[in-house]
Structure 1
Amino acid sequence: MNAALYGIGVGPGDFELMTLKAIRIIKEADLIAVPRTDEKEMTAWNIAKQAVDLSQKEILELYMPMTRDAQILAQSHQKAAELIMDQLKQNRSVAFLTLGDPSIYSTYIYLHNRVLDAGYDARLIPGVPSFCAVAARLNTPLCEGAQPLHIIPASYEGSFDYLSWGGTKVLMKSGKEFSNVKEELLSRDLVEDTQMVECCGMPTERVYHDIRNAKGKASYFSTIIVKEKEITK
């Protein structure tokens, strides 16, 4: 196997959604890189170990703080990239496990770019995005015909103008801002067109066909789907 960094999407939570390619590369890689948060959670690892025997694999834990401080993030990304490059220098392959798909709001991509910029080989291995799994769990299409699909990081402060856009809106990472998002949806009379799934495919999964039933702060792993409001004639 080539001495490269492989950013592997393990999907949103259900290990059966992992791709055959992801499983093969995890098996063949010399070591597994796993992101760890302040709470020492390794969610991607917990998903992958249900599909692949990782008991004999060498593990490289990479600290990824849950913060928006640009300086702290840059330092942690650089340190993690350097630890990975130390392995690549030894001609070892590294499989970095990340939730969902590595190209969609993934912390991994910051390491990927640093490794590429340093002249090493880094590759993206796609995974099932959370919003696709959520749509399947809700048994509903994301978009039909000429409808556009908008993917929005809802936890970031800013205007809610996107709620007036046509087509389907997928609100990701609402987390701490969920109450504000919920109030905005209520004020715009969009509740009937909105559904949410927390921790899709995980043991803690919760499905809300009516988000008025969701109280308090939503999980970081929450995805809200807002359909285009139908105009009655």
Structure 2
Amino acid sequence: MKAALYGIGVGPGDFELMTLKAVRIISETELIAVPRTDEKEMTAWNIAKQAVDLSTKEILELYMPMTRDAQMLEQSHQEAAEQIIDQLKQNKSVAFLTLGDPSIYSTYIYLHNRVLEAGYDARLIPGVPSFCAVAARLNVPLCEGAQPLHIIPASYEGSFDYLDWGGTKVLMKSGKEFGKVKEELISKDLVKHTQMVECCGMPSERVIKDISAAEGKASYFSTIIVKEKEIVR
């Protein structure tokens, strides 16, 4: 197989949502690069290994801290890219496993850009985005006709302004700020338009149809869908 970095989306959690192309490329690549957090969690790996035999694969663990510290992120991204480039120099093909789709809020893209800038080949292999799987789990359409669809990183400053826009709003990255997100949805009288799924497709999946009744923190893998019209539950 051609020596290149392949950023492979493994979907949101259910290994049956992995694409045939993702399975094929993972099977054919020599090296599997896996992001690892401070808690040593390797969620994408755990999904992929249910669809592909990874027992004989060479594994490259890349430290990816869950932080917003710009300096720490810059350092970890650069170090991970350098580790991958070292493998590409040896003419190896590398599959980087990432949740959902690599083009949507994925840490992978920072490595992708660095590898390309260094003059090496890097390719995106799409996966099922979490919000598509969540809409299917909730049995609701994301958008119809001329309805716009807005993908919002809900834990960032200014993100609540987008709740006033027309169309369907998908709130991602809301886990740590779930309390504030819930308060904002209540204040804007959007609770009856809203549903949420935590860890969609994973063993710990939780469907929350009444956001106002949800207590405590939400999982990092939480996706909230806010519709224009009241949702029939």
Question: Does residue 87 of the first structure (1) align with residue 84 of the second (2)?
Answer: no
1:156 Cα deviation from its structure 2 partner: 1.1
Task: Give 3-state SS (helix, strand or coil) of 1:160's partner.
Answer: helix
Kindly provide the amino acid, as one letter, of the partner of residue 49 in structure 2: K
Alignment-derived partner of residue 220 in structure 2: 220
Alignment-derived partner of residue 22 in structure 1: 22
Kindly provide the amino acid, as one letter, of the partner of residue 36 in structure 2: R
CA contact (8 A) 2:32 2:60 kept: yes
Identify unmatched segments of 5+ residues in structure 1.
none
1:209 Cα deviation from its structure 2 partner: 1.1
Cα distance change on mapping 1:159 and 1:48 into 2, 3 Å: closer
Kindly provide the amino acid, as one letter, of the partner of residue 63 in structure 1: Y
Cα distance change on mapping 1:169 and 1:16 into 2, 3 Å: same
Over 6 Å off, 4+ runs: none
Question: Does residue 186 of the first structure (1) align with residue 195 of the second (2)?
Answer: no
Question: Does residue 32 of the first structure (1) align with residue 32 of the second (2)?
Answer: yes
* Post-superposition CA distance 1:106-159 (Å, at most 9, x none): 000000000000000000000000000000000000000000000000011225
1:102 Cα deviation from its structure 2 partner: 0.1
Alignment-derived partner of residue 52 in structure 1: 52
Alignment-derived partner of residue 99 in structure 2: 99
CA contact (8 A) 1:102 1:126 kept: yes
Distance across 1 between alignment mates of 2:189 and 2:162: 14
Kindly provide the amino acid, as one letter, of the partner of residue 182 in structure 1: K
Task: Give 3-state SS (helix, strand or coil) of 1:24's partner.
Answer: helix
Distance across 2 between alignment mates of 1:65 and 1:185: 30
Question: Does residue 147 of the first structure (1) align with residue 147 of the second (2)?
Answer: yes
Distance across 1 between alignment mates of 2:160 and 2:99: 26
> Aligned runs of 1:116-155 on 2, under 5 Å?
116-155=116-155
1:213 Cα deviation from its structure 2 partner: 2.5
The number of residues matched between the two structures is 230
Alignment-derived partner of residue 9 in structure 2: 9
1:214 Cα deviation from its structure 2 partner: 1.6
Task: Give 3-state SS (helix, strand or coil) of 1:141's partner.
Answer: coil
| TM-score after normalising by structure 2 | 0.97
Alignment-derived partner of residue 72 in structure 2: 72
Cα distance change on mapping 1:71 and 1:53 into 2, 3 Å: same
Distance across 2 between alignment mates of 1:18 and 1:4: 21
CA contact (8 A) 1:199 1:206 kept: yes
Distance across 1 between alignment mates of 2:5 and 2:80: 12
Kindly provide the amino acid, as one letter, of the partner of residue 73 in structure 1: L
> Aligned runs of 1:162-201 on 2, under 5 Å?
162-201=162-201
Coordinate RMSD, CA, aligned: 0.8
Task: Give 3-state SS (helix, strand or coil) of 2:76's partner.
Answer: helix
Distance across 1 between alignment mates of 2:63 and 2:159: 32
* Post-superposition CA distance 1:43-74 (Å, at most 9, x none): 00000000001011100000000110111100
Kindly provide the amino acid, as one letter, of the partner of residue 75 in structure 1: Q
Distance across 2 between alignment mates of 1:62 and 1:47: 17
Identify unmatched segments of 5+ residues in structure 2.
none
CA contact (8 A) 1:190 1:229 kept: no
Kindly provide the amino acid, as one letter, of the partner of residue 143 in structure 2: C
Distance across 2 between alignment mates of 1:151 and 1:143: 12
Sequence identity percentage: 88
Kindly provide the amino acid, as one letter, of the partner of residue 145 in structure 2: G
Distance across 2 between alignment mates of 1:16 and 1:31: 22
